[in-house]
Each structure stands twice: as C-alpha cells, then as structure tokens.
Structure 1
Amino acid sequence: MKRTLTIFLVVIIASCARQQETVIENVETVEKAEAILPLRVIKKNSIERPTHFNMDSIELEKLKAVDSTFFKSYLAGLEFNNDTDAKVEFDRFSRYYFFDYKELDNFFLFSIIHDDEVGYSILYHFTYDKAVKRISSVDYIGATGGDGGHGITDRLRYNIQGDSLLLTSISTYDRDFSNKGFTREYDSIVTRTVFNKGKAFHVVLDSIRRTDTIWRANKK
C-alpha cells in the first residue's frame, strides 16, 4: 500500500511540474507578444527606407549593431511568415545590424541584417501593427554571400510608399566535372511582396534557370 501511494505521489508531482513548465512557457510567449516595441530605438539606429539597393553593396561596418538584449526581448522566438518551420533565433556567433525603417499610417516597417559566420548576410523584414501594438509579420527578404560553390546576391526595389517590394534574387552554384572545367547553374527569381496588410504577401512573378559550362584555361 505504501509503495502504491509513493508511486501515485511521484506521478502527481511530475505532472504538476510539467504543467508548471507549460504555464511558464505560455507566460513568456504572451509577455514577448505583448511587449511594446520601442520604435524610437529603431528609428534612431536605422536609415529611412531607400527606394532601391543591392544586398552586396551594403557596408555593414557603417550600420549600427542590434544589442543582444534588444534582440532577445523583442525579436527572438517570432515565427517567420514565409517559412513556417523557422523562428527568429539569436546566434551568438553571428552579428545583427539595424538597417532601414518606414513609417506608415497603420504599420511600422523595419528590417535588420543577420551577418552569419558561414558567409551570408540575410535581410529580415518586420511588420509592426500599430493598432494591436505588436509585430504581425516576420519575413525572409533578401541575402548576399556564398559558401562551398554557392553564391547569391539580391536586388531590391521599393515603391515610393516603401510598402511594396520588387525583389530580383540571383543565385549561382558551381560544380566541377573535371580538372578542365565546371558547370555554373544560374537561378533568377523575381518576387513581389506587399507589406501593408498586416501579414506580408509574396507572389513569384518570374523565374529563369540556366546552366553554363565554363572551361579552365590551359596552363603552360
């Protein structure tokens, strides 16, 4: 009887502990969602949204770094709108920079750049809904860099209002087939993204793929 009672108590305690952990996780999620984003900090550290630029032309050393406390308090854990299996995560081996912002009547748009340790710089775009005072959409937008034969550079062009983007993404992949040459695969994708509806909306307008054979010059 004592053994049965002991097992029963252990099960109850373990169940309560799991419920408490779930409550803590839920509270942390709610607190993060309800935390009011300090827009003035973003404005102070970012540039006003340019109408066009290439990702590979951005000089990171001229941008202001995103403080780890700010990142963890307001951005970490948010789910990406255009990649439902991913969340914004803080990587201590990476660097993060404020980039641009655009103030609209109902929304505040801004982006940061994630400069990772592999060799890529990735643009994250955030849509802040002023009515509910929270970030309503997080989206992967552009990238530049390369690693292991792969390379990418994106060209961005916004409308005057800054709430509609035409993105041209150009990626290449080199694959050796002999010591005399290699193939280079090109992918070009044109996407239209609209940010003035709370959730960003993405539409692929065009895509092109081709493969070239490149011969190495004979060494004398």
Structure 2
Amino acid sequence: MVLTPFGPGFWLADGPDIRAAAGFHYPTRMAVARLADGGLWLWSPVRLTPAILEALDALGPVHHIVAPNKLHHMALADWAHFCPEAHIHAAPGLRAKRADIVFASDMGEDPSADWAGQIDQVIFPNAIADEVVFFHRDSGTVLFTDLLQQMPRGWYRGWRRLVAWLDLMTGRDPQVPRKFRMATRDKPAARAAYSTVKTWQPKQVVMAHGTPVTEDADAFLTRAFAWLG
C-alpha cells in the first residue's frame, strides 16, 4: 500500500532513502491530510512516483505542499511540475535557498487560513534549520521533521555508525539529535514552542526519519525534550 491510513483523513507514505553530506543516508516519510474543502495537504513530500500520484488522485486534488524546514526540499521541483495547481509553502530560510521554486507563502507561527482550525503549527527555532511543527487535529498527530530522529538498527556502518550513535540518531527511542540540541541557541523560544506542542495534547507523533509513536505520546515527548530544562 502506497498510502497508509494513520487516522481520520490522514495518511503516511514512506519514500526512498536520500543521500546527504559525508555519505549519510536517511529514510523519508510524507504525510497527507484531507482538508475540509476536499483538497489534500502534503507535508515533507517524498520523491514523486506514478504510484504515489495515482494514490493521491484517488483521495482528491493536491491543494497545498509544505516544506517543513529548509532541508526538506529535494523533491519540490517535481511536485511543482506535476501538481501545478498546488500552492507550495516554505519554511523559514527556504525561499532564499530555492529561487527556482514559486512559493505561495513563507510559513510563520500562524497557520494559513486554508488549514487554520484543522492543522495547527509552531516554529521551533534552530541554527541548523528552523522547523515548522504541525498538529493534525482530527488524528491527534504532531509532525516533527528533523528535530526527532530514530534510524533503524544497523542503518549505518563503520565510522558513520559511531557518529550516528554519538549524535543520538540511533537510540532505543526517537530523540532530538545532539547537533540540533547544540544548535538550539534560543532556548526560551524553543521552550515556548514545546509548551505549545504540549497544549495540543497529541496522541501520535510522526517524524520524517523514525518510527511513529502511537502510544503514550505525552510521556514520550516529555522524555524527548527533557534536555530543554
């Protein structure tokens, strides 16, 4: 199954691995929500394939595509080409990085009127990449992109395995990698963003690189962000 149901009007789709700097590779995941107007909202789109397009066509037209941080942009050009009616929304810093993409908006703390009341959002400030964290109300799912990660056991080998372990990318549970903790320069703002996430009372946690959390989400988030103090 290309799209896996993950709650009312909400689906997940895993994509192919992507290569990053120094030979590190990452699994990828996209989320799809059906909005009240029947249009689809795509989060962190994976590489576009005919199978994904066919599955989406069965659900409805793609109206919005969100790039949740400036690191998750590799597939945008293909999506823009094959879904020309869709509005693409940029995380902070992405517009300057991808001048070839026509963005409909630069996302901030307030959700677009097109999904307000259905999907909430908040910005976690980070020197590596400010991340827009979303909450899909009907499914009770909070969406993290790179702030939470958990690579499968044996995902890396050799020196990359050691680096990933030291960076907390391959722990028993999804965690905030050390590099993102160190790059959290404005901790009061990060605490405020985390407090907003907690007020949403999520039941499920989805991340682009890691196993979704479907039980005891509140306790999990408390552990994962305890380092914020």
TM range, smaller chain: under 0.3
Asked which structure has the greater CA Rg, the reply is 1
- For normalisation by structure 2, the TM-score amounts to 0.23
- For normalisation by structure 1, the TM-score amounts to 0.24
